[in-house]
Amino acid sequence: MATDDLKAVLRRERVPPRASLLIESMRDIGYSLQTAVSDVIDNSITAGARNIELLADTTSDVPAIGLIDDGSGMSESELLEAMRPGTRSPLEDRPDHDLGRFGLGLKTASFSQCRRLTVVTRKAGITSCAAWDLDTVAETDEWYVEFPDSTAGTPWADRLQQDGTLVVWEKLDRLVDPRNEADRRNLVRQIDETASHLELVFHRFLAGEPGLKRVSIFLNGRRLKPFDPFHSRHLATTFGDEEVFRLGDGEIRIQPVTLPHHKKVTADEWNRYAGPEGYIKNQGFYLYREKRLIIHGTWFNLARQSELTKLSRVRIDMPNGMDAEWKIDVKKASAQPPAPVRDRLRRIIEVIGAGSRRAYTSRGRKLVSDNRLPVWTRSQDKNQISYGLNPDHPAFSHFSNTLGDEQKREFARLLDLIASTIPIDTFFADVSSHPESVSTRMLDEEAFAGLVTQTYLTLKSGDLSDDDVRLMMSSAEPFRSNWKAAEEAISVLARGNEG
């Protein structure tokens, strides 16, 4: 060592981490079962696997989870290196399509869920097997990887046919206490949720796309189906202009998408694309790193998730060379856009917001202008929008005309009371969480017929021709929506009037 280097230093002490303690802390960097399984699958995809099987034994005395792939497999020395926590530098350039970065995922993801990680791998006909057992590390306080003398005791080891790798998690202390039935049921539920998570995170691999080979993932033999959060194949899905943004040597692609309005899809489709968290929570950016979804349903603090933009989802594609700039974490489950990209994203959000506002206001205006005799009126004064009952609607004016002066005033006050107490908050909450089940109540037949008669007579008394009355009523609710029934009733009234 050059003496210059030592000048500022009095002395140096080696302070290696205590194996038994650090390895326990490595368990708590915040993985869920879903993100942990995804991290192990990343390795299989990087190793060129075309088939990956997630295996879960939730019923036996010693529950276990396995992931088996038909990728390149590893030699024994490669396996030993793979078991090393921090086997590769995060600073190193990786080939395109490598989904890894930190040289940690296999270990951190596995330890977050289990106390025993076994890897069985086969390359060029040679099978190797190694295991981390946290109980051994705790006992010895040494970073010892074990090499079992046979794979006989490892679940699913016989499933490895040609080249490929099997990762097995046993001692699932964080997932299930085998003596507890409720725990086991909970594990089954978590595994099902993990399968749905994989259908989203790896949907582009599951579907295949130009430049990306198709990968099949199975859960206990069931083939997972890709879940495309953009509903890209639906004709009513609209795509904004794709933007390409250069940052350093890399390229970021940004594609805004608007999902179909609920009237354009079936109720099943509407619910499926809402996702368990709903449209409001699932709007926002969907960031893909080498086609693998990292984070979704966020505007990165650049905008609020609002009702207005709930159908907007924006796909961002980034390469694997920008991990530091995007602050990609070990779990590949969070990210932050770098400053120059933030400005661009902010502008994209502004365009999306303006578009949605236009769509909504023009729809609102249309509703009001189409309806020449509204029951409800909508008025806008600067930023204040309010709704009221229209006292000129024939149903109200006809009734009002039958009243004495004092009762007339009382009736007008009643209309005001109703209009001033519309339950806007609950209505808004219902529409945003399940719009498909919100509808106006139907009038019963008798009430509807009564309303047709009143309205017809009121309009006729104003010296309007029959054709004009029909025209006005056909554009007013509730007649417009039930025009066939209304027209029949009007014809009967018109004949009666003639006679």
Residue ranges binding ligand ATP (CB under 6 A) = 39, 42-44, 47, 69, 71-72, 74, 82, 87-88, 100-107, 165, 330
**DSSP readout, 397-433?**
HHHHHTS-HHHHHHHHHHHHHHHHT--HHHHHHHHHH
CA 411, 415, 416, 417 torsion-angle sign: positive
Question: Quick one: what does residue 58 bind among Mg ion, ligand ATP, none, with the CB cut-off 5 to 8 Å set by partner type?
Answer: none
Residues 6+ apart with CB under 8 A from 478: 375, 443, 448, 451
**Is the CB of 43 or the CB of 113 nearer to Mg ion?**
43
Q: β-pairing, 292-298 with 384-389?
A: unpaired
We find the least distance from the C-beta atom of residue 296 to ligand ATP, in angstroms, to be: 19
Residue indicated by tokens 């006005």: 472
Query: Strand locations in 101-241, DSSP E?
Result: 116-123, 126-133, 164-170, 216-219, 222-223, 238-239
We find the least distance from the C-beta atom of residue 55 to Mg ion, in angstroms, to be: 19
We find the least distance from the C-beta atom of residue 353 to ligand ATP, in angstroms, to be: 35
Contact between 31 and 108 under an 8 Å Cβ cutoff? The reply is yes
Specify the DSSP class assigned to residue 111: H
**Is the CB of 167 or the CB of 259 nearer to ligand ATP?**
167
Residues 6+ apart with CB under 8 A from 73: 47, 121, 122, 123, 124, 163, 164, 165
Structure tokens of 110? 């596995």
Burial class (CB in 10 A: 0-12, 13-18, 19+), 358: exposed
**Is the CB of 85 or the CB of 229 nearer to ligand ATP?**
85
CA distance 45 to 127: 20
**Is the CB of 46 or the CB of 128 nearer to Mg ion?**
46
Segment near Mg ion (CB under 5 A); pick from 67-75, 95-103, 317-325, 396-404: 95-103
Type of residue at 233: R
Question: Quick one: what does residue 136 bind among Mg ion, ligand ATP, none, with the CB cut-off 5 to 8 Å set by partner type?
Answer: none
Residue ranges in 311-465 assigned as alpha helix (H) = 323-326, 339-370, 394-401, 405-420, 424-433, 445-461
Segment near Mg ion (CB under 5 A); pick from 34-42, 136-144, 146-154, 243-251: 34-42
Question: Quick one: what does residue 319 bind among ligand ATP, Mg ion, none, with the CB cut-off 5 to 8 Å set by partner type?
Answer: none
Return the ∠ at Cα 264 (arms to 263 and 268), rounded to 5°.
85
We find the least distance from the C-beta atom of residue 74 to ligand ATP, in angstroms, to be: 5
Question: Quick one: what does residue 290 bind among ligand ATP, Mg ion, none, with the CB cut-off 5 to 8 Å set by partner type?
Answer: none
We find the least distance from the C-beta atom of residue 292 to Mg ion, in angstroms, to be: 11
Interface with Mg ion, residue 105, by CB under 5 A = yes
CA distance 4 to 6: 5
Residue indicated by tokens 């390469």: 319
Residue ranges in 295-338 assigned as alpha helix (H) = 323-326
Strand partners for 164: 122
We find the least distance from the C-beta atom of residue 142 to ligand ATP, in angstroms, to be: 20
We find the least distance from the C-beta atom of residue 345 to ligand ATP, in angstroms, to be: 25
**Is the CB of 227 or the CB of 323 nearer to ligand ATP?**
323
Interface with Mg ion, residue 43, by CB under 5 A = yes
We find the least distance from the C-beta atom of residue 330 to ligand ATP, in angstroms, to be: 6
Segment near Mg ion (CB under 5 A); pick from 102-110, 154-162, 186-194, 484-492: 102-110
**Is the CB of 105 or the CB of 256 nearer to ligand ATP?**
105
Count residues binding Mg ion (CB under 5 A).
4
List 66, 100, 164, 374, residue binding Mg ion (CB under 5 A): 100
Question: Quick one: what does residue 165 bind among ligand ATP, Mg ion, none, with the CB cut-off 5 to 8 Å set by partner type?
Answer: ligand ATP
Residue indicated by tokens 């009513």: 236
**Is the CB of 71 or the CB of 284 nearer to ligand ATP?**
71
We find the least distance from the C-beta atom of residue 367 to ligand ATP, in angstroms, to be: 52
Interface with Mg ion, residue 320, by CB under 5 A = no
**Is the CB of 255 or the CB of 320 nearer to Mg ion?**
320
Q: What number of other Cβ atoms are within 10 A of residue 36's Cβ?
A: 24
Question: Quick one: what does residue 197 bind among ligand ATP, Mg ion, none, with the CB cut-off 5 to 8 Å set by partner type?
Answer: none
**Is the CB of 44 or the CB of 298 nearer to ligand ATP?**
44
Q: Which residues bind Mg ion (CB under 5 A)?
A: 42-43, 100, 105
